[in-house]
Structure 1
């Protein structure tokens, strides 16, 4: 018996902060969540699985969307025609989506209640699936503790959308411990919510498949679903099958010591070529970080526009596959910053902290709000005029320019 475990589909997740000049690329990324789900159904059919379990966040949000709901019903109907059962729990993103009740789904699909755990018995394959959806709003209860004892004589799958012990990149929902799951004596815990795939335990199996398709530059690497094979009531294989239609990468290119644009381009080309190789036949969407101490930082690569142009031109020269540049982040340091680099936080240590803040809007807002007036007076006029001291988030779209301005201050021996 084989089954597929997927989670965090986030159908039609909106594109956030995507600034691709390539319209075709933007359209393909916009369709990626649906195309990946179609690949999931194709895999279920080609592998002849008995069951597909979906561990939450099928939809990206609670707002009803008839087009997406009809797409979902069409794909689930393909599974129904092949006699493949589908078990679904709702997660924090789709717990309130009315389409789960307003639009009828094929008879092969079961959405579990949020009121209490329910069990679906599949006699034909000897499987019992027990699951509970999340309710709307915060869920701080340990739902796993209320799961009933497993059914004797069946391979028991538990289906839950949970943060487990917690993750810095995800909000807490239905928290529980690995010990809580192990104590329930299920054969396989099919979890969702954490977007990075991981086999947390093999005794019993506790698995996060990760999300089906990366949605932005922080969701990098292969994404897909877990294919599980069971023989004589035991898991004999549990493997991630990549199903993403585009793959996100965050790349750092060290231009330290580079003295010519040709040398810089060669280094960028080498990193991009290796990324394409790793992506296989699928397009690669890249965020490129240019770092290192080089005279180019105060010369031809001084501005963010020049840095992006160099990366985009280099990417366009690659003929072996599709690679789309989402953003170029400049962290180049001119040689004259040698002295300021020795000043602790006012050098590289300081910019390491700033780099982390730039990836976290909430933390960046808190830091900027604490001493914004003094910083505002030292910024270049275009940034200063766009900045509202009472709303530091107004500067977020210009964060890369802010980063560059701070570097300039330090290179002059000033402190921000």
Structure 2
């Protein structure tokens, strides 16, 4: 017996953070979650699985119109024509209280009740599926305690949308429980959802988060998909095979630009690494955050010429295939050259020759030790960052450190850029 376990589909959820620029495939980006789900259903049919389990967050909240539900009905119709059943549990994003729209689903779709644990039995396969959907979005009770006892002589599957206590993902603590509680329940397999990273535990029970089907932002990097579970005999651990099914993959690309002395050289170095990334798996388009790092004589100039720098990166992507590489962001994480022998330098690494700039560089270096100034900066920056969204602090390490009172990274970022700009403007 084989079944496919997926979770966190988030149908029609927008992909967030991709830069808008000419030739960016907007329509393809908008349809990524649908394309990934359509591909998943195709895999279930091709593999001739016995049934499909969806462990929560099929939707991404209430539908703006009925098109999302119509699409799901159509895909379930494909399964029905292939003789495959689907067992669907609702999670926090599609809780009863959160969804106001509904359509009649094909007869091959079985939903888990939100009132109490419900057991669906597949008698010919000797399979029992136990699960309870979310009634309200903020479900913080331990649902496992109300799950039914395993049926003797059956392969028992627990379907659960949970944060799973123990730091297995940065997700809201809905339906918390422990790994030990899951093992103690006596089920053969736990089909979990909610945590978007793939996780697998073997033990008295096999416990699995398949991860989300399609990454939706730079916070969800790397391959995404579902799992194929094969059961050879009741009482024996199942075999779990990860199925990669994303249609767009988010990646971080770190480029060392220590040896680069011009923006053109930075572009070439980035292009070489982009080409290497595509060689690993050219079939899956990438949405990339490019981070430039290293100790560079261009440190200040990179900050001052960010728009031009971004254009160089986009040019390299266009040459390799704009349909395969899309830009999320160019992030600067370089460091200035250190050492008194280098002297104050402009963005191109040239030593600043004027007395005024040299004196300014000295004053800025001394400012790092001025406790009165640092206290004033901490107060001003603290007030500003108190109003900043958490996402901003998460994206920018220098701001996180400044928020904690560490101003060194701020000086490292600002001083070379300031000196470079003043040197160019005379």
Q: State the TM-score, normalizing by the size of structure 1.
A: 0.81
User: Which of the two has higher C-alpha Rg?
Assistant: 2
1:114 to partner: Cα distance: 1.5
CA deviation string 1:225-244 (max 9, x = no partner) = 10011112234521111111
Tell me, yes or no, if the aligned pair for 2:13 and 2:33 is still in contact at 8 Å.
yes
The 1:71–1:293 alpha-carbon spacing in structure 2 relative to 1, beyond 3 Å, is same
Moved more, 221-230 or 293-302: 293-302
Pairing of 1:100-119 with structure 2 (within 5 A): 102-119=102-119
Taking the aligned partners of 1:319 and 1:12, their CA distance within structure 2 comes to: 26
Taking the aligned partners of 2:186 and 2:36, their CA distance within structure 1 comes to: 33
Taking the aligned partners of 1:322 and 1:66, their CA distance within structure 2 comes to: 31
Tell me the equivalent position of 2:39: 39
Tell me, yes or no, if the aligned pair for 1:275 and 1:284 is still in contact at 8 Å.
no
CA deviation string 1:380-404 (max 9, x = no partner) = xxxxxxx98884449959x87x979
The 1:70–1:21 alpha-carbon spacing in structure 2 relative to 1, beyond 3 Å, is same
Taking the aligned partners of 1:38 and 1:395, their CA distance within structure 2 comes to: 31
Taking the aligned partners of 1:158 and 1:167, their CA distance within structure 2 comes to: 19
Tell me the equivalent position of 1:374: 380
The 1:337–1:92 alpha-carbon spacing in structure 2 relative to 1, beyond 3 Å, is farther
Taking the aligned partners of 1:298 and 1:413, their CA distance within structure 2 comes to: 7
Pairing of 1:14-413 with structure 2 (within 5 A): 14-22=14-22, 24-63=24-63, 65-96=65-96, 102-165=102-165, 166-167=167-168, 169-233=170-234, 234-299=236-301, 302-319=304-321, 322-335=324-337, 374-375=380-381, 391-393=387-389, 407-411=412-416
Tell me, yes or no, if the aligned pair for 1:61 and 1:97 is still in contact at 8 Å.
no
Tell me the equivalent position of 1:367: none
Paired residue secondary structure (1:317): helix
The 1:391–1:121 alpha-carbon spacing in structure 2 relative to 1, beyond 3 Å, is same
CA deviation string 1:82-118 (max 9, x = no partner) = 1111111111111037768731101111111122111
Taking the aligned partners of 1:11 and 1:185, their CA distance within structure 2 comes to: 33
1:332 to partner: Cα distance: 2.2
Q: Please list every run of 5 or more consecutive structure 2 residues that lacks an aligned counterpart in the other structure.
A: 344-363, 369-375, 400-408, 420-426
The 1:202–1:276 alpha-carbon spacing in structure 2 relative to 1, beyond 3 Å, is farther
The 1:25–1:101 alpha-carbon spacing in structure 2 relative to 1, beyond 3 Å, is closer
Q: Please list every run of 5 or more consecutive structure 1 residues that lacks an aligned counterpart in the other structure.
A: 341-345, 351-369, 377-386
Taking the aligned partners of 2:31 and 2:213, their CA distance within structure 1 comes to: 13
Aligned length: 377
1:77 to partner: Cα distance: 1.0
Moved more, 61-70 or 31-40: 61-70
Tell me, yes or no, if the aligned pair for 1:298 and 1:334 is still in contact at 8 Å.
yes
Tell me, yes or no, if the aligned pair for 2:206 and 2:238 is still in contact at 8 Å.
no
Moved more, 232-241 or 280-289: 232-241
1:171 to partner: Cα distance: 0.7
Tell me, yes or no, if the aligned pair for 2:196 and 2:211 is still in contact at 8 Å.
yes
Taking the aligned partners of 1:413 and 1:304, their CA distance within structure 2 comes to: 14
Taking the aligned partners of 2:184 and 2:381, their CA distance within structure 1 comes to: 54
Paired residue secondary structure (2:266): helix
1:301 to partner: Cα distance: 6.4
Paired residue secondary structure (2:94): coil
1:81 to partner: Cα distance: 1.4
Q: CA RMSD in A?
A: 3.4
1:263 to partner: Cα distance: 3.8
Paired residue secondary structure (1:311): helix
Tell me, yes or no, if the aligned pair for 1:220 and 1:249 is still in contact at 8 Å.
yes
Tell me the equivalent position of 2:359: none
CA deviation string 1:125-171 (max 9, x = no partner) = 22111111112132221111221111122111110000111445211
Taking the aligned partners of 1:120 and 1:57, their CA distance within structure 2 comes to: 20
The 1:5–1:297 alpha-carbon spacing in structure 2 relative to 1, beyond 3 Å, is same
Q: State the TM-score, normalizing by the size of structure 2.
A: 0.79
Taking the aligned partners of 1:262 and 1:125, their CA distance within structure 2 comes to: 63
